[in-house]
Chain A
């Protein structure tokens, strides 16, 4: 339980700093620090079991069918990383309090930092690998937001994007790899996978899983060839660089390698790939770091190099190498975070962090200089500091490693990397703090207040302490390494003096050569200008641009921007499939007894045929087209009525009214007539396609209708009364049997409503607003609203409302219900808009239609929860009989609340579409004025400065031609 709480505390607490952002910087930082402290305290409470050598954890099922569980476990490795994350988090929050300016969005910053912290804790404490993947992606996302903190700077945005694409892309590979791993092992619980290493390695899929997981780990931990994102991420504020890009996030890949070490390290592929990538990254990044002039860039490449150092050790695959790797994770986190923070102080004080513009700052800021020098010396591997110890042990391991038959490869590579490590450390200290004093003229560098350098000092203390008394760190390293390697690990002992070993020789060699390199910096720096340079980040940008171009080309090739052609292609494909099915199966009329045609049906059919033919042949006359549609709709609703579907008839006829009003309102603003502009041959082809498909659909319908069938409706009819408490089976199906479907449908309606609102609300401004200004008929003097209509609709309103309530209430037992009542009431209100105008009506409208939609969906969704306390599934209904004094006994079903939600949503969508259309037309919606209104009277178009004047005029001409 505690383990899960460690993750949940920062995850839930992350809302607080953002919520308290108005309370000031200190409050935000204090809240963030308290949350981190609470999480740390919980971790300490959970630790004793781990220190005794056990693991502890918690587990709750999430989606058991998919093997997805909410499970955490805490062992030595997890405890180590979690303490690192929380401890560093505290220091970074303290540091950020002084680093960030009060005017920045600090609340947001600390919130995202806490989200990141929770995600990191999730990675290191998850037992379920699917859960781990979720947290993994969350770190990519939160780091994106943190890098882009100064989002006004292009470099920040670019760096953030690059980090997201690289680590996020690697995350995708990791997901695939982890899924394969879980598939092989037959479980997604990490603690169980670790016990099934044999099974995993025996599988032919193991190399695939390992390869994909390595891509994920290497991208996160900035290993070659994915190292380029880390230096670019230095555009982030320095607290972020110190926290994410040296101490924690970049170690996530390493954590993963360490976590899966027992499973994969016996594989040859592991040793071959991981150790070599680590060695190469370590060497390459150290060389690049040496030539960097920007302090943070130098530190970034140095970080990449040290990450390579650790990856190489994990890749070598021996228990001793793991011990060194874990020891160096600790050491590196301490000195590198201290260095990043010092670089931030220098940047903050001197106004720049470029080595060619600063120097001799030791005289001006002695405390910072002292702390940074100690940390840099540790990075260089000077004795009596912790960096020396792990470097020494690394060199020893490297010297004893034979790779591909080459016994010297790792020894030589590691020594060379160590030499460059010394060189860039010396360069960093000498360039910043020694030599003649110089800094940008406008800056006055001096040591900041203690709060700013205190975190650095806190980090430097263990750097020295471990360096002098290595035994201090031995129990930690032993615990962590033991949780990876297992019981066979010999007890870890750390010594300062190993005797005269080959490692000492390599170390001395590296120190001397490193100092010589610094002395030769100028000639070397001018020499490398002539070397061919491979800029990985430029390569990345080129690749990205290429992908974008390819995607655009693909889209352009597919998308002809011709709706007609799309429709034709789709329809042709449909008819091809239909033909195939029709001619490959049995068809023709069935044996079911048919109904005799009735006279009303024949009359209806004839009118339908006439209306359809007229609609098709006179499509250029828009008003006529709309009238014909409503004729068709009317006949369809009559057909429903005739064929025993009263609910459908009611719905169809009321929807028909709304649709016609809607189309007329739209037509009011659009051209009334216009040629079809389709050539005769095209029209013939369209006609052929349409006739063919129509004949096919008719034949299909006929074939189905003349056959008998089995329906599940017998159940619905039988259960409507005893189970659903209603006699109108259609309504009971809608609000009870299939209520979840209905809920989904009203949500679709709600989304359509929001889209309609968005389209119309913004139609009054911009280009569309200008055109509207011209098209809209102008307001004539006097009251434009017809008196009879105004009075009539106002009198009708309460009547229609009463009918609506009646239809709604009786819906469960008689034809009616929420859908129909919603449309009816909508029509009643729309009539007010039509008769009295938008302004009059909207002034009297108390409730926004969007609120209707929202509350409708909410009521419908929440009404289903009522059944949970009684142990029934979502949306289970109940009903009972209520007796009131005068009314008598009547029945109340709980679904009436659900139906109320349906009613409100449908009412809302009718209102939102029609009322907003009315609003767009408002100034003179009631007057039909000739379209050839003098266009130049528009005040905006008359402005001589209007750059679009020419185009508007020509466009207007085009419109006149159209109409």
Chain B
């Protein structure tokens, strides 16, 4: 079982990182989200694996799985959602502002708009995506 979980963590990490290195916004976002699965699983696994021992107290039972990593991971999942939501919206807004869904500023409209020498463009794009 440990081997399965460890290799699953490895596969998720590798896929997440590979996607994060893409140029398209959505791929990067999905990559980050897959990477957060890997991290959550990893943290969870630090409490070692156990089957049928949920940390819900019952009379007469003394053996429970480690609740502390679970508590950490629970908030981590929700925080990861907050982060994903933020970057999704950030990416969407950047796309709406620049018309490009790549993550490199150098390739998108931004640099052309904010570069000096085009004062009229500069003032009109005063409300940047950040």
The residues of A with any CB-CB pair to B shorter than 8 Å are 560-564, 567-568, 571, 592, 594-598, 601-602, 605, 608-609, 612-613, 615-616, 619-620, 622, 625-626, 629, 632-633, 636, 639-640, 642-648, 651-652, 655, 658-659, 662-663, 666-667, 669-671, 674, 676-678, 686-687, 689-691, 693-695, 697-699, 701-702, 704-706, 709, 711-713, 716-717, 720-721, 727-730, 733-734, 738, 741-742, 745, 748-749, 752-753, 755-756, 759-760, 762-763, 765-768, 771-772, 775, 813-815, 819, 823, 906, 909, 913, 916-917, 920, 947-948, 955-956, 958-959, 962
CA distance A560 to B111 in the complex (A): 12
* Given A563-B104, A595-B1, A619-B27, A701-B93 contact (CB < 8 Å): no
Say whether A705 contacts B40, CB under 8 Å: no
Which residue of A has the minimal Cβ distance to B90? A759
Which residues on B sit within 8 Å (CB–CB) of A699? 6, 10
Which residue of A has the minimal Cβ distance to B57? A727
CA distance A419 to B114 in the complex (A): 56
* Given A626-B30, A698-B6, A619-B19 contact (CB < 8 Å): yes
Say whether B89 contacts A760, CB under 8 Å: yes
User: How far is the CB of A825 from the nearest CB of chain B, in Å?
Assistant: 14
Q: Which of B6, B44, B102, B121 contacts A640 (CB 8 A)?
A: B44
User: How far is the CB of B91 from the nearest CB of chain A, in Å?
Assistant: 7
Say whether A711 contacts B47, CB under 8 Å: yes
Which residue of A has the minimal Cβ distance to B19? A619
Residue pairs across A and B with Cβ atoms less than 8 A apart, 19 shown, are: A598-B1, A619-B24, A632-B37, A633-B37, A644-B51, A645-B54, A648-B74, A655-B77, A686-B17, A691-B14, A694-B12, A697-B10, A698-B13, A702-B3, A734-B74, A749-B78, A752-B85, A768-B129, A947-B120
Which residues on A sit within 8 Å (CB–CB) of B52? 644
CA distance A906 to B81 in the complex (A): 10
Name 5 extra pairs, CB < 8 A, besides A615-B34, A690-B17: A645-B54, A651-B74, A713-B68, A756-B89, A819-B74
* Given A643-B65, A659-B81, A909-B82, A595-B49 contact (CB < 8 Å): yes
Which residues on B sit within 8 Å (CB–CB) of A959? 99
User: How far is the CB of B9 from the nearest CB of chain A, in Å?
Assistant: 5
* Residues of B1-59 contacting chain A, CB below 8 A: 1-30, 33-34, 37-38, 40-42, 44-58
* Given A674-B101, A698-B10, A564-B21 contact (CB < 8 Å): yes
User: How far is the CB of A920 from the nearest CB of chain B, in Å?
Assistant: 8
Which residues on A sit within 8 Å (CB–CB) of B46? 704
Which residues on A sit within 8 Å (CB–CB) of B34? 612, 615, 629, 632
Say whether A659 contacts B84, CB under 8 Å: yes
Which residue of A has the minimal Cβ distance to B125? A767
Which residues on B sit within 8 Å (CB–CB) of A763? 92-93, 96
Say whether A605 contacts B129, CB under 8 Å: no
Q: Which of B24, B75, B77, B106 contacts A734 (CB 8 A)?
A: B75
Which residues on B sit within 8 Å (CB–CB) of A729? 55-57, 64, 67
CA distance A622 to B73 in the complex (A): 28
Say whether A608 contacts B23, CB under 8 Å: no
Say whether A745 contacts B75, CB under 8 Å: yes
Say whether A721 contacts B17, CB under 8 Å: no
Which residues on B sit within 8 Å (CB–CB) of A772? 96
Which residues on B sit within 8 Å (CB–CB) of A742? 75
The majority secondary structure among interface residues of chain A is: helix
CA distance A717 to B50 in the complex (A): 16
Q: Which of A613, A639, A762 contacts B41 (CB 8 A)?
A: A639
Which residues on B sit within 8 Å (CB–CB) of A766? 124-125, 127
Q: Which of A608, A651, A713, A745 contacts B8 (CB 8 A)?
A: A608
Q: Which 9 A-B pairs have the closest CB atoms?
A: A698-B10, A694-B14, A702-B6, A768-B96, A595-B1, A690-B18, A729-B67, A727-B57, A733-B71
Say whether B82 contacts A749, CB under 8 Å: yes
Say whether A705 contacts B22, CB under 8 Å: no
Which among B50, B71, B79, B125 has the highest number of chain A CB atoms within 10 Å?
A: B71
Say whether A597 contacts B4, CB under 8 Å: yes
Say whether A752 contacts B86, CB under 8 Å: yes
Say whether B85 contacts A690, CB under 8 Å: no
Which residues on B sit within 8 Å (CB–CB) of A755? 86, 89
CA distance A658 to B85 in the complex (A): 9
CA distance A948 to B20 in the complex (A): 33
Which residue of B has the minimal Cβ distance to A952? B99
Q: Which of A644, A695, A741, A819 contacts B50 (CB 8 A)?
A: A644
* Residues of B80-130 contacting chain A, CB below 8 A: 80-86, 88-93, 95-97, 99-106, 109, 111, 120-121, 124-125, 127, 129
CA distance A837 to B84 in the complex (A): 23
Which residues on B sit within 8 Å (CB–CB) of A771? 96-97, 99
Say whether A678 contacts B22, CB under 8 Å: yes
Which residue of A has the minimal Cβ distance to B95? A670
Q: Which of B54, B92, B111, B125 contacts A666 (CB 8 A)?
A: B92
Say whether B45 contacts A704, CB under 8 Å: yes
The majority secondary structure among interface residues of chain B is: helix
Which residues on B sit within 8 Å (CB–CB) of A753? 82
Which residue of B has the minimal Cβ distance to A643? B49
Say whether A760 contacts B82, CB under 8 Å: no
CA distance A652 to B44 in the complex (A): 13
CA distance A752 to B58 in the complex (A): 38
CA distance A669 to B37 in the complex (A): 26
Which residues on A sit within 8 Å (CB–CB) of B14? 612, 690-691, 693-695
Which residues on B sit within 8 Å (CB–CB) of A916? 89
Say whether B49 contacts A694, CB under 8 Å: no
Which residues on A sit within 8 Å (CB–CB) of B18? 616, 686-687, 690
Which residue of A has the minimal Cβ distance to B42? A701
Which residue of B has the minimal Cβ distance to A913? B85
Say whether A694 contacts B78, CB under 8 Å: no
Which residue of B has the minimal Cβ distance to A629? B30
Say whether A730 contacts B70, CB under 8 Å: yes
Say whether B129 contacts A701, CB under 8 Å: no
Say whether B105 contacts A561, CB under 8 Å: yes
User: How far is the CB of B113 from the nearest CB of chain A, in Å?
Assistant: 8
Which among B4, B52, B102 has the highest number of chain A CB atoms within 10 Å?
A: B4
CA distance A643 to B53 in the complex (A): 8
CA distance A920 to B57 in the complex (A): 46
CA distance A658 to B80 in the complex (A): 12
Which residues on A sit within 8 Å (CB–CB) of B16? 690
Which residues on B sit within 8 Å (CB–CB) of A955? 99, 109
Which residue of A has the minimal Cβ distance to B10? A698
User: How far is the CB of A910 from the nearest CB of chain B, in Å?
Assistant: 8
Say whether A615 contacts B89, CB under 8 Å: no
User: How far is the CB of A384 from the nearest CB of chain B, in Å?
Assistant: 62
Say whether A716 contacts B67, CB under 8 Å: yes
Q: Which of B10, B83, B96 contacts A694 (CB 8 A)?
A: B10
Which residues on B sit within 8 Å (CB–CB) of A711? 47, 66, 68
User: How far is the CB of B76 from the nearest CB of chain A, in Å?
Assistant: 9
User: How far is the CB of B12 from the nearest CB of chain A, in Å?
Assistant: 6
Say whether B85 contacts A562, CB under 8 Å: no
User: How far is the CB of B117 from the nearest CB of chain A, in Å?
Assistant: 15
CA distance A617 to B43 in the complex (A): 27
Which residues on B sit within 8 Å (CB–CB) of A626? 26, 30
* Given A640-B44, A655-B78, A663-B29, A669-B95 contact (CB < 8 Å): yes
* Given A697-B10, A717-B67, A756-B89, A562-B104 contact (CB < 8 Å): yes
CA distance A560 to B103 in the complex (A): 12
Say whether A677 contacts B23, CB under 8 Å: yes
Say whether B93 contacts A760, CB under 8 Å: yes
Which among B7, B97, B124 has the highest number of chain A CB atoms within 10 Å?
A: B7
Say whether A645 contacts B65, CB under 8 Å: yes
Say whether B21 contacts A567, CB under 8 Å: yes
Which residue of A has the minimal Cβ distance to B104? A562
Say whether B37 contacts A625, CB under 8 Å: no
Say whether A697 contacts B30, CB under 8 Å: no
Which residue of A has the minimal Cβ distance to B14? A694
Say whether A814 contacts B96, CB under 8 Å: no
Which residues on B sit within 8 Å (CB–CB) of A913? 85-86, 88-89
Say whether B24 contacts A676, CB under 8 Å: yes
* Given A561-B111, A691-B14, A658-B1 contact (CB < 8 Å): no
